[in-house]
Chain A
Amino acid sequence: MKRFDLNWPTLIFLVGLIGFFVLFLFYPLWYAFVQSLVVDGRFTFAFYELMVTSPVYQESILNSFRLGMITTIATTLLSLPLAFLLVRYDFAGKGFLNGLILVPMVLPPFVGAIGMKQMFARFGSINLLLLDLGLIDQPIDWFGGGGFVGVVILEVLHLYPIMYLNVAAALANVDPSLEEAARNMGSRGFRLFRTVTFPLMLPGYFAGAIIVFIWAFTDLGTPLIFNYRQVVAVEIFNSIEDINENPMAYALVVFVLLLTVFFFYLSKATLGNRRYEMIARGYISSGSRPASRGMTVLIYAAMLSLTGIALIPHLSVFLTSIAERWFMAVLPQETTGRFYTMVFEHPMSLSSIEMSLILSVLSTTLDVVLGIAIAYLLTRTRIPYKGVLDAMAMLPLALPGLVLAFGYLAGYSGTFLDARHYPVPLLVIAYAVRRLPYMVRAAYAGFQQTSVTLEEAAQNLGASRLRTLFQITFPLILANLVAGGILCFAFAMLEVSDSLILALKDEYYPITKAIYALMGRIADGAYLASAMGVFGMVLLIVSLFLAGRFLGRRMGELFRA
């Protein structure tokens, strides 16, 4: 008997897919790895030694760790209580608040940073307001430590929704009867949480914490805007120009990569075999209870004020984009719409929009095709080493964008794909690879929710496999496919690290790189960049809203580990 469904089309596709992953996932990483160890044909550990011995690199690595740790801890402290309130209590408008949590994600943190700089500058709105009110008599240095605090604030405000999604899911998965059993034994309050609830949540929480840590550790745009240069990501970015003379960047990239691998391995090794599935039981208590009136008020107050704070960067970006004159004043003295017109007039912003549209459409198309095919193979066929295929498709989720983009740039330098000459192919592939997991997940969920018998019924009545796919399966999972596609598109439009690293010529700048470049290049740069940022925000809000409409409540699943 045939153990596997392997026909020629499947085989050819699989071989092509493996080739694609080898070329655009493994080879770039391998290249960086080799370059970090071999110089002029000789094997050397010098660059790794430099990491420990050179005060500059030491400082950068320490700062990145600090940034990652503080962000992780701060997002944890924000999300845990929030998750408890929203998972364990029922109240009017719960769905609305659950949606509200995601809102801060609609802006890449580095765009928010542009606005924040205006607002929290030495003589920015906040300090002026406090001075006016007589609360302080000296302006406060909000971004103390040469911008470090500013970076942390932006990372936290951007990443707590991701942490929340993971924590809330972990909490919702804790079997309420296990807590009831503990309560029955006399445990309660924080002790109950510490001894039973949290240990049960640990696998889910840890997964979220890793994502947040790696994200903050490798974020490139935000430190660049704050001109906070002593972090690993910026070190790597700065060394792109002279990569041939100084291979230190390779070692740093490998370091980040190994760190990522180490964390994921750690979570698998320590928590992998501790999956706490719900135990079947007769009585299912829902685990949530109605909130009292006072509790409801508290929940709303907490949520609204947090979201309010999280939206300060967004607000400040908006204010900056409409400010004609904003100097030594709490709010802009004069407002204008001219920066919005300028977005469509300035050659760089205009060409960047065009560029981003082309790149995003192409990469989304690639994602949709690959994503559907992979999800189909995973759910509907028996092929060997399914787990490997699954892992490969999901790998980019864990891989910092910085690492992959750097690998592309270095690994394909001098070939016909060289990003220094013509970055479009590599940018399309980079965007596509980074967002492929979202598409695979969306399609996978669709296939899984659609009973196979619906397809079998069609075949039974005379439809071939291909015909069944187009007439039965695709119409049924259309919502998932559209939602996945929208997400891929929206994230590609605002992709940061790939764009910053791979787009090296003005005419090929995508939106995010143009925003960054405009900041430093023209007098009105910050205003124009903010206006572009507002466009980006609107695009993401509309996209997320549309995707949410199609995916319904399962939207959050895409952002979880």
Chain B
Amino acid sequence: MFGIRLENVTKRFDNVLALDRINLEIDAGEFFFLLGPSGCGKTTLLRILAGFEQPESGRVLFDERDVTAVPPHERNTGMVFQNYALWPHMTVWKNVEYGLTMRNMPQHERDQKVKRVLEMVQMSGYARRSPNQLSGGQQQRVALARALVIEPDVVLLDEPLSNLDARLRLEMREQLLDLQRALGVTMIYVTHDQKEALAMGERIAVMQMGKVAQIGTPRDVYRQPLTRFVADFIGEINLISGEIKSVESGVVAATDVGDILGQAGYEGIQVGDRVLCAIRPEAIGFLLDESGTADNVILGQVRRAIYLGEVEQFFVELASGDQVKLIKYDATIQHAQPGDEVRLGFSQVVMLRDEAEDRDEAV
């Protein structure tokens, strides 16, 4: 078990920059997530860690040892592939045993380890089956067992749950978390599903177009997104554009719906900056009477209400013509109806740099 460091890792496919100077440090025993939309480079990064791809420049360090040029079979990483990649010409047992055979482990030791790991993933009864006879969830467990049995220095998971149905996915999430905690092994998990990352990750690296947009705990990246992309990609967000007019006691932005008070989302914020006021839908409340207060209060009219069972969504049109979205969890009471004039109150606002503005200046 050890930490991993990536230094300026860059990878190009033909002329597409897949990874652009990636710097990352992953601690020993950490459950680390690489999160991003398809094509952001997260899988390429994982494959570089496994040794299937060579970075164009930069270094990969396992526990301070430079492994950039080490071939895949000498890295001692355990990878779980998106399609599981179980060998159809071998039984479950043989699949799991394979890595141990490669390590020239004596037969009785192999038997013990395979037995134990199959118990761990609750697949003991299936050892003699062929992978084709297993359900998706079972194949997933075998793939996991195969990666874990070699006692790898790091486990690499490439969207391991994406081929499972929703219920099974939740179940496997729990089991994977339990396993990681029990074994204390470093795990790097690639996914495009923000819920998975938030629910399981100790830290998350959100990736965008070959770059790391933000690294932090789930709480950090959700509550303090650094960019509009991160805010948009993780959860839902309302964005109201404005211009900073004061940074004295709290940051205040002037917008079409009045002044909004919030906190700086980036360093060096100053008066005159074009910003986006980012507000999570669940952070906005209906102020039912005059007594309700919040840092910010704005008026609007409910346009649509969508009942989703455990939550209810509302779309409220503001005076500026913008719409904001609200999510209310207590769906047993009726909060508002389309056509209602409402007062909205919210306190948690992050001021993000308006990147469109940056681009305009650059031109």
Q: Which residues does A use to contact B, with CB under 8 Å?
A: 1-2, 451, 453-454, 456-465, 467, 472, 475-476
Contact = CB atoms under 8 A, between A and B. Distances in A.
Question: Which 4 A-B pairs have CB atoms at the shortest separation, nearest pair first?
Answer: A461-B99, A462-B102, A1-B56, A453-B85
B83 A460 contact: no
Contact of B81 (A457, A467, A476): A457
Q: Which of B57, B77, B99 has the most CB atoms of chain A within a 10 A radius of its CB?
A: B99
Nearest to A471: B98
A1 B19 CA distance: 13
Interface in B1-60: 11-12, 50-52, 54-57
Contact of A461 (B12, B82, B102): B102
B88 interface: yes
Contacts of B87: 454, 457-458, 472, 476
Given A460-B50, A462-B73, A462-B103, A453 B98 contact: no
Contacts of A461: 73, 78, 98-99, 102, 146-147, 150
Interface string B175-217: 0000000000000000000000000000000000000000000
A458 B98 contact: yes
A20 B102 CA distance: 37
9 contacts: A1-B56, A454-B86, A456-B72, A457-B146, A460-B50, A461-B73, A461-B147, A462-B74, A462-B103
A448 B85 CA distance: 15
Nearest to A459: B72
B197 to A, nearest CB: 22
Contacts of A460: 50, 72-73, 75, 77-79, 147, 156
Tell me the dominant secondary structure on chain A's binding face: helix
Nearest to A450: B88
Interface of B: 11-12, 50-52, 54-57, 71-79, 81-83, 85-89, 98-99, 102-103, 146-147, 150, 156
A15 to B, nearest CB: 24
B79 A462 contact: no
Contacts of A472: 87
A463 B101 CA distance: 9
B355 to A, nearest CB: 30
Contacts of B79: 456-457, 460
A489 B54 CA distance: 41
A282 B12 CA distance: 35
A385 to B, nearest CB: 16
Q: Which of B77, B85, B146 has the most CB atoms of chain A within a 10 A radius of its CB?
A: B85
A1 B55 contact: yes
A462 B150 contact: yes
Given A454-B85, A457-B86, 19 more contacts: A1-B54, A2-B54, A453-B82, A454-B87, A456-B52, A456-B85, A457-B79, A457-B146, A458-B87, A459-B71, A459-B72, A461-B102, A461-B146, A461-B147, A462-B73, A462-B74, A462-B99, A462-B102, A462-B103
B150 A476 contact: no
B255 to A, nearest CB: 42
Contacts of A462: 73-74, 76, 99, 102-103, 150
Contacts of A454: 85-87
A321 to B, nearest CB: 44
Q: Which of A1, A463, A467 has the most CB atoms of chain B within a 10 A radius of its CB?
A: A1
A457 to B, nearest CB: 4
Contacts of A458: 73, 87, 98
A471 to B, nearest CB: 8
B159 to A, nearest CB: 12
B279 to A, nearest CB: 37
Contact of B83 (A453, A465, A476): A453
Nearest to B75: A460
A457 B54 contact: no
Nearest to A464: B73
Q: Which of A458, A461, A463 has the most CB atoms of chain B within a 10 A radius of its CB?
A: A461
Nearest to B96: A461
B73 A463 contact: yes
Q: Which of A458, A462, A465, A476 has the most CB atoms of chain B within a 10 A radius of its CB?
A: A462
A413 to B, nearest CB: 48
Nearest to B88: A476
A465 B12 CA distance: 24
A464 B89 CA distance: 19
Contacts of B98: 458, 461, 463
B139 to A, nearest CB: 12
B12 A476 contact: no
Contacts of B72: 456, 459-460
B50 A451 contact: no
B85 A457 contact: yes
B228 to A, nearest CB: 32
Contacts of A463: 73, 98, 102
Nearest to B104: A462
A497 to B, nearest CB: 40
